[in-house]
Amino acid sequence: MVTDKLAQRTRLPGTPDPMHTWPGANGMVIAGDVWGPVDGPLVILQHGGGQTRHAWKAAGERLGQAGYRAVAIDARGHGDSSWSPSGSYEQADMVADLVAVVDALGGHRPVLVGASMGGGVSLHACGEDRVDATALVLVDIAPRIEPDGAGRIMDFMLQAPDGFDSLQQVADAIANYQPHRTRPRKLDGLAKNVRLGDNGRYYWHWDPAFMSRKRELEKRTAHLEACARRLTLPTLLVRGGLSDILSMEGAQSFLELCSHADFVNVTDAAHMVAGDRNDIFSDCVIEFLSRTVPVGGEPTQPPHVLHPHHEGPPGGLTDVP
């Protein structure tokens, strides 16, 4: 059983071990799972804040069955990836981890698929020319998001700083945040979402330092809008029709900045599109990739020499979850 010494919190029995780990930036260790043939086009799946690589399991399996090499990673400070001793959780830190993982995977050009926070990392990496990606898929995230919806995510992640008495309390907290989802009959699946403290209480799996950082929505918008203007690679935006994070106006704003992007609105899914309607999500992503990064063929986006640079306002930022 693995113990996180920083948190003095222990993984619960039944928590799946990561299939692989790779070196991240500045000594971080990034955990992940992999599906599909070794020689398939690389697809890197990045989750939202407070989630883990497990959010992509069903989508990763579908991509693997379609012939893609799908890699889902835990962001630093989440899941089984290491916590930053210095509390470094800026978007640029996560981009640096992504660059390190791409290098560790052999330097193959990846498709970047990112939900919420992971989408911000992916957009940043492409817009600042940090990764020579073959395609970009943004899942219910764009430069312009709804402050109230972002606030609800923050409130959910900030609750119970002193932990939960039981897994039932954890289940209640998740159900209150996602009332549209059917409650699981068993609590075993919650093991991967929490860690057991040495005081016998249950804590969320993420580093509390991640949530202590100031969020600047206006700076975030300006930065990611600047990144969006730089996009030339095939891009797909997937929105959850029930989302309180990405409105239709926010989606349209992105499509005006990136006029070549494809757009899919999944009507009966909320912010966590891949979890709510994995069937529709996986179908639309595989269809998009079949046109832009076909299995056994060449990507429509040719390779280029990277010229990493900064876009948007000066300084770093910590993205919303």
CA 154 to chain centre: 16
Show the DSSP H helices in 13-86 as ranges: 57-65
The whole-chain average pLDDT of the chain stands at: 94
Domain-embedded: residue 318: no
What is the domain-level CATH number for residue 13? Answer: 3.40.50.1820
Domain-embedded: residue 228: yes
Domain range for residue 231? 3-149+210-292
User: Using CB atoms within 10 A of its CB, is residue 118 exposed (0-12), middle (13-18) or buried (19+)?
Assistant: buried
Domain-embedded: residue 168: no
Domain-embedded: residue 177: no
Residue 108: Cβ within 10 Å count:
15
Model confidence pTM above 0.75: yes
Domain-embedded: residue 222: yes
Domain-embedded: residue 305: no
pLDDT digits (tens, 9 = 90+) for 84-131: 999 999 999 999 999 999 999 999 999 999 999 999 999 999 999 999
pLDDT digits (tens, 9 = 90+) for 249-302: 999 999 999 999 999 999 989 888 988 788 999 999 999 999 999 999 999 999
SS3 99: helix
Percentage of residues in the chain having pLDDT higher than 90:
87
Domain-embedded: residue 236: yes
Q: What is the spatial order of strands in the sheet that 9-11 belongs to?
A: 3-4, 9-11, 194-197, 202-204
pLDDT of residue 8: 60
Long-range contacts of 16-19 (CB under 8 A, 24+ apart): 16/54, 16/192, 17/80, 18/53, 18/74, 18/79, 18/80
Domain-embedded: residue 200: no
- How many separate domains does the chain show? 1
Do 173 and 220 form a contact (C-beta atoms < 8 A)? Answer: no
pLDDT of residue 22: 98
pLDDT digits (tens, 9 = 90+) for 128-179: 999 999 999 999 999 999 999 999 999 999 999 999 999 999 999 998 888 8
